[in-house]
Structure 1
Amino acid sequence: MSDSEPLRLVVFDVDGTLIDSQAHIMAAMTLAFEAVGHPCPPRPQVLSMVGLSLAVMMPKLAPGLDAQGHDALAAAYKASFADIRMSGNPLETAPLFPGAREVLDHLLGRDDLLVGIATGKSRRGLDHLLEAHGLTGAFVTEQVADHHPSKPHPSMLFTAMAETGVEAPNAVMIGDTTFDIEMGRAAGLRTIGVGWGYHPTEALVAAGADEVVASYAALTPALHKIWEG
């Protein structure tokens, strides 16, 4: 990196962006609703909420329950998710999307970039996932649901920038949901939507994504276009 080039920050969402976790999420959600005796919403509705914190998600998925019911549902989901994680192979239940590892390795190897995470997952859940994929310690900043308001509140990204010393014009948020795009825009970042996750491309465009890519092969060129175009 030359003295004239700014240090840049690339922040990734996890579920639906780096990790294909939909089978794990749906299995845990089905068990959670069974545990509280409430019908589970249809798969598309559940997956459309991925990325929100459980405290925000559960009232949307089960508006007929009271606050105590929502708390019980969140607790049952956490327990079911952990049980599935511990009983299975995380490389199978939560695999990286095709091409993700190659792009991550490329970005992590650059000296002009810092790479971080902003996820609706818990600290414990993220730690297990990173360990399973050999990515513990790879990211310079890791923002999780335990310490922030739910997306699309920009708290995660403000903290990521504070921790890295990178200012908003030199940072990019990459995610698969409108929550990610709205969070990035609220923090003043450029945003890249990915078309293989939980929200459709047209929704990402409508939310204001600067670019939307259809594969990991297109991600590095999209970053170059945003910063150099």
Structure 2
Amino acid sequence: MERNRYTRPMYLILFDCDGTLIDSQDTIVSGMEAAFSAVGLAPPPRAACLGIVGLSLEIAIDRLVGDAERHLVQEMADAYRASKIAERKAGGGQDPLYPGARAAIEMLHARDDVLLGVATGKAYRGVEHMVQVHDLHGRFVSVQTADRAPSKPHPGMILQAMEETGVRPQNTVMIGDTSYDMEMAKNAGVTGLGVSWGYHDRPLLTQAGAAVILEDFADLVPELGRRFGWHAEEVA
């Protein structure tokens, strides 16, 4: 992979999960309700729960509870995780892929110059569940999660993915729906592409450094083709 000037460039395309690949808002909100109920607190509004999507769980809960209940964060995070484990054992937690996500993944996976990865605030177990539910085995060569790297917007997930794959920053793209994704991309020195169907609005994405905001998954491969100079027949 990019060992010398004669080799073909390799490209690394990293996806966020929640709000980008899968619509997990109901799962996240129910998890937060379980976390707050476990310590006798009223759960925050739905919009507040979705506003922290992308952060690692403890940091997300910390932002929601504030100073007065900060000592409860770990207990709440444990309750959140327990609720998700119970939900999966009961056959739930099967968050749907967004329309067009599978087609985009398959088109990119079929290219011999593209490597796909995940960089998410989920724990590794959550990504494994997503891959299992949607039969995405073998699609992602790099999986970066909140329990294996610092929370977004720290660049650690992207830096680790580039180190694993040997792909350079100029050939790496981070695709996400939150300002944390775009800030992480900027901090890592790579391009961030925002998506309009997730949990942060367009002004937040633009302010955080999104190079482009995609309106539909069908726009992704053509946008990458323009950015990397792929021939038209390669992005059809």
Partner of 1:116: 117
1:59/1:65 contact within 8 Å kept:
no
Partner of 1:173: 174
Report how far residue 64 of structure 1 moved: 4.5
Residue 203 of structure 1 aligns with an amino acid whose one-letter code is L
Residue 23 of structure 2 aligns with an amino acid whose one-letter code is D
Report how far residue 153 of structure 1 moved: 0.1
Matches within 5 A, 1:41-190: 41-90=44-93, 93-190=94-191
Kindly tell me: are residues 161 and 128 of structure 1, through their superposed partners in 2, closer, same or farther at Cα, counting changes over 3 Å? Answer: same
Report how far residue 68 of structure 1 moved: 3.1
Partner of 1:207: 208
Ranges in structure 2 where 5+ consecutive residues have no aligned partner = 231-236
TM-score by length of 1: 0.94
SS at match of 1:145: coil
Higher alpha-carbon deviation: 61-70 or 107-116: 61-70
Within 2, Cα distance between the matches of 1:188 and 1:43? 33
Number of residue equivalences:
226
Ranges in structure 1 where 5+ consecutive residues have no aligned partner = none
Report how far residue 112 of structure 1 moved: 1.2
Runs of 4+ in 1 over 4 A off after TM superposition: none
1:51/1:119 contact within 8 Å kept:
yes
1:46-103: CA deviation from partner (whole Å, max 9, x where unpaired): 101001011211111011544430111111111112222222344xx30100110011
Partner of 1:14: 17
Report how far residue 228 of structure 1 moved: 2.7
1:109-153: CA deviation from partner (whole Å, max 9, x where unpaired): 111111100011111111111111111232110001111111000
SS at match of 2:41: coil
Higher alpha-carbon deviation: 107-116 or 61-70: 61-70
Residue 106 of structure 1 aligns with an amino acid whose one-letter code is M
Higher alpha-carbon deviation: 62-71 or 28-37: 62-71
Residue 17 of structure 2 aligns with an amino acid whose one-letter code is V
Kindly tell me: are residues 165 and 205 of structure 1, through their superposed partners in 2, closer, same or farther at Cα, counting changes over 3 Å? Answer: same
Residue 143 of structure 2 aligns with an amino acid whose one-letter code is E
What RMSD over aligned residues (CA atoms) do the two structures have, in Å? 1.6
Report how far residue 221 of structure 1 moved: 1.4
Within 2, Cα distance between the matches of 1:100 and 1:130? 13
Partner of 1:192: 193
Within 1, Cα distance between the matches of 2:68 and 2:33? 16
TM-score by length of 2: 0.91
SS at match of 1:70: helix
Higher alpha-carbon deviation: 167-176 or 3-12: 3-12
Which one of 13, 32, 36 corresponds to residue 33 of structure 1? 36
SS at match of 1:192: strand
Report how far residue 225 of structure 1 moved: 2.3
